[in-house]
Amino acid sequence: MIPLTLAQLTDAVGGTLVLADLDTPDTIVSGAVDTDSRAIAAGGVFVAKPGEHTDGHRFVDAAVANGAAVVIVEHTVETPVSQVIVPDAVGALADLARVVVARVRERGDLRVVGITGSNGKTTTKNLLARILQDEGETIAPRASFNNEVGAPLTMLRVTENTRFLVSEFGASGPGEIARLAGLVTPDIGVVLMVGMAHAGGFGGIEATFAAKSELVHAVRDGGLAVLNADDPRVAAMAPLGAHRDVAVRWFGRSDAADVRATDVEVTASGTRAEILVDGVALTLHLQVLGAHHVMNALAAIAAATALGVDAASAVRRLETVELAERWRMQPLGSERVRIINDAYNASPDSMAAALRTLAQITTPEQRTVAVLGAMSELGEYAEEEHDRVGLLAVRLGIQRIVVVGADARRMYLEAIAQGSWDAEAVFFATADEAYDYLMGELRDGDRVLVKSSNSAGLRFLGDRLGDSFS
């Protein structure tokens, strides 16, 4: 965090300051801010956030032992360091992030990019950060720090020298993106797609559209919206910022896109695309697997070039990215048996993209194996969308369909209904059972996709399989 006096910090969060013996209101704190006591280091600021299963106030002593200089708490605690009492620790975290980012903006040339979408946020964030880091100090979320806690923690990592802040905005309901993006009023807002991910929480696809639109509304006056020209719902967001002079920059496969792909080829070693950036032709060789990642790359290029990065430089930097993120189309195992672990998140769109990639990268002498778990947060759409995945797997000719977990069982039933009854489709209640089966079933030349939502836990099954065949 940038240096603040205890008085300034207290004012930022609207709290009450209780000073330790050796501190004054002018005592400066500048350490990192965190809600995890284990991550606190010397001079840090610990935010005691109440949680579903535990209470951060229980870990104040541990944070102080690790070097916390001040703690933000919801009630007075016994501690040798200064404490700031607030009614809502999570709200205080957001307030502090708003103030810190505003101060850095006032002093320098900080530019803020916000990214949202039903799929692809984390990959696009990582790709954009890779492009921008060669231009100057760039702060981007670790993993998927995109919620009411993770987003402010990322914002609080900015320094006086930060040139770019890339924020990822996720949401499980209406209003969350508006609140998070409102902390920083992005210069550029990137909307990737509007799909069925979290549709259950939002209440349907139109509610999802409204929620993702909140980012366009949050872009600063005179800013830029980077929108997917191929997604009709995203394209419909174009007029939303017009009254505030928010310009639009398009990406996609459409001829109307400012940054577009004209040809895409997916192989086991990566993804190649011919692209046009404002009419300039370039070839992109991504090491990241999957045609769907070309769209993420186009979005990153569109945002980066709007920030002044040369298009050819942006492409060269993207070509150095070997992995978008752990558990996202992550190649494991070996050439003998290749495991693709894509089980951190899953939605109908990302499940379909992963299955198509599996089919595309497998040669005729190799065998396709899909290990599939449940897609979460689909609400009333869950049964229908799981059926669609089972149907798609059969239509793509996936040779072994291994469905894991009761919540995913409809995929198996649909695959059986579509004709995959001769041991082509199997079901297991647990990942351990699936692992035992796969260890006896997999053979040289198999290409194995492991895909599910985080809650299904199949990412760990993917890791086990990767270790077993490495």
CATH number, domain at 443?
3.90.190.20
Buried b (16+ CB within 10 A) or exposed e, 247-257: ebbbbbbeeeb
Within-domain flag for 101: no
Average pLDDT over residues 372-378: 92
**CB-based contact 201:169 (threshold 8 Å):** no
Q: Average pLDDT of the chain?
A: 94
How confident is the model over 301-342, as pLDDT tens digits?
999 999 999 999 999 999 999 887 888 899 999 999 999 999
- CA torsion 97-99-105-107 (nearest 10°) is -130
The dihedral built from the CA positions of residue 402, 406, 411 and 412, taken in this order, carries a sign that is positive
Q: What's the CATH number where 167 sits?
A: 3.40.1190.10
- DSSP state, 56? G
Q: Given this model, what pLDDT does residue 421 score?
A: 72
Give the tokens for residue 291.
Answer: 């045609």
Q: Are residues 192 and 303 in the same domain?
A: yes
121, 278, 427, 466 from 424: Cα distances, Å: 34, 47, 10, 22
Q: Given this model, what pLDDT does residue 202 score?
A: 61
Q: Given this model, what pLDDT does residue 345 score?
A: 86
**How many residues in total does the chain contain?**
470
How confident is the model over 430-441, as pLDDT tens digits?
999 999 999 999
How confident is the model over 9-64, as pLDDT tens digits?
999 999 999 999 999 999 999 999 999 999 999 999 999 999 877 899 999 999 99
**CB-based contact 228:295 (threshold 8 Å):** yes
Q: Are residues 181 and 124 in the same domain?
A: yes
Q: Are residues 231 and 360 in the same domain?
A: no
Q: Are residues 112 and 248 in the same domain?
A: yes
Q: Are residues 295 and 350 in the same domain?
A: no
Residue 445 has pLDDT above 70, yes or no: yes
Give the model's confidence band at 468: pLDDT under 50 very low, under 70 low, under 90 confident, else very high.
very high
Give the model's confidence band at 201: pLDDT under 50 very low, under 70 low, under 90 confident, else very high.
low
Residue 156 has pLDDT above 60, yes or no: yes
Q: Give the rounded distance of the alpha carbon of 32 from its chain centre.
A: 22
Question: Of the residues 24, 58, 88, which one is the last residue of a structural domain?
Answer: 88
Q: Are residues 114 and 80 in the same domain?
A: no
Q: Are residues 176 and 61 in the same domain?
A: no
Residue 284 has pLDDT above 60, yes or no: yes
Give the tokens for residue 16.
Answer: 């009450």
Within-domain flag for 325: no
Q: Are residues 146 and 171 in the same domain?
A: yes
Backbone angles phi, psi at 185, to 5 degrees: 35, 80
Give the model's confidence band at 136: pLDDT under 50 very low, under 70 low, under 90 confident, else very high.
very high
Within-domain flag for 279: yes
In sequence order, the 6+-apart residues with CB closer than 8 A to the CB of 171 are 116, 147, 177, 180, 198, 202, 211
What domain count does the chain have?
3
33 beta partners: 45
Question: Of the residues 318, 338, 354, which one is the last residue of a structural domain?
Answer: 318
Give the tokens for residue 95.
Answer: 């307030």
Domain of residue 170: give its range: 108-318
Phi-psi region of 226 (alpha: psi -120 to 50; beta: other; left: phi over 0): beta
Q: What's the CATH number where 42 sits?
A: 3.40.1390.10
- Give the containing element (helix H, strand E) for 103: helix 89-107
Cβ neighbourhood burial of 11 (10 Å; 0-12, 13-18, 19+): middle
Q: Are residues 161 and 28 in the same domain?
A: no
Tokens 């509007």, located at residue: 194
Question: Of the residues 283, 318, 353, which one is the last residue of a structural domain?
Answer: 318
Q: Above pLDDT 90, what percent of the chain?
A: 86
Within-domain flag for 11: yes
Q: Are residues 357 and 312 in the same domain?
A: no
Q: Given this model, what pLDDT does residue 198 score?
A: 57
Q: Are residues 347 and 367 in the same domain?
A: yes
Q: Are residues 311 and 334 in the same domain?
A: no
